[in-house]
Amino acid sequence: MERPVTKDDLAFDHVPETDQSFENALAKANDGDRLTVDDAIELLTTGTATDGIDRRRKELVLEAADRRRADVVGEEVTFVANLNNNVTTACNVGCLFCNFKDAAHTFETGSEVDTAGFTKTPADSREIVSDAVSRGIYEVTSVSGLHPAFALDDEHREILESHSDPKAVNYIPPERYETSPGTYAEQMGAMSVDGVHVHSMTPEEGYHARRGTDWSYEEVYGRLADAGLDTVPGTAAEILVDEVRDVICPGKIDTGGWLEAMEAAANVGLGLTATIMYGHVENEAHRALHLKRIRDLQERVDGAITEFVPLSFVHQNTPLFEHDVVSGGASTDEDELLIAVSRLFLDNVDHVQSSWVKYGDEQGLKMLSCGADDFMGTILSEEITKRAGGEYGEFRSFEDYVEMITSIGRTPVERSTDYDSQWVIDPDDPPFGPELGPKADGSPLLTREERSERAVLADD
Ligand SMILES: C[S@@+](CC[C@H](N)C(=O)[O-])C[C@H]1O[C@@H](n2cnc3c(N)ncnc32)[C@H](O)[C@@H]1O
Ligand SMILES: Nc1c(NC[C@H](O)[C@H](O)[C@H](O)CO)[nH]c(=O)[nH]c1=O
Ligand SMILES: N[C@@H](Cc1ccc(O)cc1)C(=O)O
Ligand code: SF4
């Protein structure tokens, strides 16, 4: 049998080699000068002239980033009271880093394979979000598989229904499925409970919502905003260099398409977040180029990107790992350097998020001293990382947040999705519950039952 293609066989055009020195790059970072891609490569590699990561140099990069964080945002650590409500896992795009998806044919009525996934109707979403809103959340984040029955709205469905070759545009009518996800517009409307902030429709989903039409992304995001969408999560970014996308997500929109969708969303007034998904086949040159593309985008959208979210690749149950293309994810040194260099390079993005879903509590807290200042949200439910083999759980309570953030001597601050509203929490004045948003009454986010269930689990 032939040996499988591995990461080492990939002959990339972009390689981590520069004419810059580590010392010069570090001096620029310390002076607050705008960094170039070569500077970022030097800092991410702790010097391209030597192999491996030099721990002493790494500490210097982390210190520079921590100082920059203190200068830009001070000692406050923010988080949000939110719920993840992902609508469906049905997806045929086939990204090789993803185990969230389930082949769409397994959702069809009469399928011989019982699907391992789920699809929620708009009514299901409404019920789930209503329940979470009554517990105090004021943001719902919703990212989904590209279900072939999804249409943007009724007009889009009509266009798809009358298409000469619906399959060619990845459309199968909802009648073929056990459960219909409805339209994106219906889902946005259903999730807009009592003014809750809807954070949804990644550029990849935006692409799906216009397939088979000549509509611009502005048209699509404008209609979604009218239906209840508030801000757009910048996932599907992965690594914004096409030679990497060709390997890990050949079915996805390319770098240009991702940037076009993000810019259009900003043009119709929607706020944005941006991400990087790193630690698979890419090298430090790709990571640095990605940062440059985000920084340039932020200039074009006039500051619409509120935060940058590094997502460390979770490898365990993914095709990339199972087919031996990669032997694991990023090392802790690489994670820390990525956070730090994101802070130093992205001088026009105020907030860098540390994801406890990806790093866990201990390392997640450490990241708050490597350049990050935001600690994500309560989320209440998580499927993407869990299905990939991540083990850091599905929610954090406000109590957890206050305890963790004060344990490192920083100030816990509740924020809105767009950071416009912030509420400094006094750790000496419990109970801690959401104070911002539609049903803010300061009561704890978790129900009494959940709290006692957790206490039992902790005793085990
Ligand atoms: C699962 S998709 C859902 C939304 C939509 N299908 C899309 O691709 O934009 C959301 C994001 O999760 C992240 N993700 C998926 N699998 C991951 C993994 N194994 N490790 C880390 N992040 C992952 C990727 O960055 C991806 O863009
Ligand atoms: N980093 C991850 C997030 N981040 C989302 C945040 O919780 C929040 O929605 C955003 O900051 C906007 O306010 N969500 C995940 O599910 N998994 C992550 O790794
Ligand atoms: N990236 C999105 C949310 C998100 C991140 C990672 C995920 O696995 C899922 C959703 C945001 O913060 O805007
Ligand atoms: S990352 Fe998104 S588009 Fe890619 S397979 Fe997973 S769910 Fe589908």
Do residues 119 and 267 both lie within one domain?
yes
Residue nearest to atom 13 of ligand 3 (CA): 233
Residues 335 and 289 reside in one and the same domain = yes
Q: Ligand 4: which residue has its CA nearest to atom 2?
A: 145
Residues 110 and 54 in one domain: no
Q: Which of 435, 452, 439, 371 is nearest to 401 (CA)?
A: 435
**Predicted local confidence at residue 6, as pLDDT:** 86
| Confidence at 441, pLDDT banded by 50, 70, 90 | confident
| Neighbour tally for 425: CB within 10 Å | 21
Contact 126, 190 (CB under 8 A): yes
pLDDT of residue 193: 96
- pLDDT of 2 reads 65
Give percent above pLDDT 90 in the chain.
91
Distance CA(396)–CA(404), nearest Å, equals 10
What is the ipTM, given to two decimal places? 0.95
**What's the CATH number where 170 sits?**
3.20.20.70
Residue 450 has pLDDT above 80, yes or no: no
- Percent of the chain at pLDDT above 70? 98
Residue 49 shares a structural domain with residue 166: no
Mean pLDDT calculated for residue range 341-363: 98
Handedness of CA 239, 90, 251, 151 (dihedral sign): negative
Which ligand 3 atom lies nearest to the CA of residue 376? 12
What spacing in Å lies between the alpha carbon of 278 and ligand 3's midpoint? 14
150 SS3 class: coil
- pLDDT at position 446 is 75
Report how far residue 328's alpha carbon sits from residue 331's, in angstroms, rounded to the nearest whole number: 9
Indicate if ligand 3 lies below 6 Å from the C-beta of 309: yes
- 3 assigned to some structural domain: no
Last residue of a domain, one of 27, 44, 71: 71
**426 CA distance to ligand 4 middle (Å):** 40
Give the pLDDT confidence of 88-126 residue by residue, as tens digits. Answer: 999 999 999 999 999 999 999 999 988 899 999 999 999
Using CA atoms of 43, 48, 52, 54 in order, give the dihedral in degrees to the nearest 10: -50
CA-proximal residue: ligand 4, atom 4 (nearest): 95
Ligand closest to Cα of 84 equals 2
Task: Flag whether pLDDT at 458 surpasses 90.
Answer: no
**In the prediction, which pLDDT does 448 show?**
64
Which of 28, 45, 71 is the endpoint of a domain?
Answer: 71
Q: What is the pLDDT of residues 148-207, one digit of tens each?
A: 999 999 999 999 999 999 999 999 999 999 999 999 999 999 999 999 999 999 999 999
- CA trace torsion 434, 436, 442, 444 (10° rounding): -10
Report the atom number in ligand 4 closest to the C-alpha of 204: 3
Atom of ligand 2 nearest to the CA of 377: 7
* Ligand 2 and 376: CB distance under 6 A: yes
Asked whether residue 119 falls in the same domain as residue 26, the answer is: no
Read off the amino acid at residue 230: D
**In a domain? residue 300:** yes
Q: What is the mean pLDDT of the chain?
A: 96
Last residue of some domain: 71, 99, 114?
A: 71
Tell whether ligand 3 has an atom less than 6 A from the beta carbon of residue 273: yes
The answer to the question of residue 9 being in a domain is no
Residue 58 within any structural domain of the chain: yes
Strands of the sheet containing 411-415, edge to edge, are 374-377, 76-80, 411-415, 422-424
- Quick: pLDDT tens for 372-402: 999 999 999 999 999 999 999 999 999 999 9
Cα distances (angstroms) measured from residue 280 to each of 197, 209, 268, 285, 314: 32, 29, 34, 13, 9
Angle of helix 332-345 relative to helix 356-367, nearest 10 degrees, comes to 70
Residue closest via CA to ligand 4's atom 6 equals: 98
pTM of the model: 0.96
For residue 208 the two structure tokens come to 């799906």
Range of the domain at 46: 16-71
Per-residue pLDDT tens for 292-331? 999 999 999 999 999 999 999 999 999 999 999 999 999 9
The pLDDT value recorded for residue 146 is 98
pLDDT at 454 > cutoff 90: no
Distance, in Å, from the CA atom of 297 to the CA atom of 274, rounded to the nearest integer, reads 10
Looking at residue 414, the DSSP 8-state letter turns out to be E
My answer on whether 184 and 80 are in the same domain is: yes
Among the atoms of ligand 1, which is closest to the Cα of residue 91?
Answer: 6
CA dihedral for 152, 155, 158, 164, sign (positive or negative): negative
Least confident residue range of 64-73, 127-136, 443-452: 443-452
Q: In testing the pocket of ligand 4, which one of 91, 201, 239 has its CB within 8 Å of the most ligand atoms?
A: 91
Count of C-beta atoms within a 10 Å radius of residue 166: 16
| CA distance linking residue 115 with residue 254, whole number of Å | 29
Angle among Cα 87, 437, 195 to the nearest 5 degrees reads 55
The Cα 367–Cα 356 span in angstroms is: 10
51 with 199, same domain: the answer is: no
pLDDT of residue 449: 73
DSSP 303-331: T-EEEEEEEE---TTSHHHHTTS-S----
Residues with CB under 6 Å of ligand 1 are: 91, 97-98, 100, 143-146, 202, 204-205, 235-236, 238, 275, 277, 311, 313-314, 318, 384, 388
**Same-domain status, 362 and 281:** yes
Q: Degrees (nearest 5) of the Cα angle 172, 177, 181?
A: 85
Would you say residue 7 lies in a domain? Answer: no
Q: What is the sign, positive or negative, of the torsion defined by CA atoms of 237, 128, 416, 332?
A: negative
Whether 66 and 84 map to the same domain: the answer is no
127 in the same domain as 45: no
| Listed residue (329, 328, 365, 340) closest to 46, CA to CA | 340
Would you give the DSSP letter of residue 285? H
* Atom of ligand 2 at shortest range from CA of 376: 7
Which pLDDT value is given to residue 460? 63
- H/E element holding 411? strand 411-415
106, 63: one domain: no
Residue 2 domain-assigned (yes or no): no
Work out how many domains the chain is built from and give that number: 2
* Ligand 3 pocket residue status of 312, Cβ below 6 Å: no
414 lines ligand 2 (CB under 6 A): no
Query: Over the stretch 280-289, which tens digit does the pLDDT of each residue have?
Result: 999 999 999 9
Q: What is the pLDDT of residue 453?
A: 75
Tell me the C-alpha distance between 422 and 372, whole Å.
17
Q: Do residue 143 and residue 49 come from a single domain?
A: no
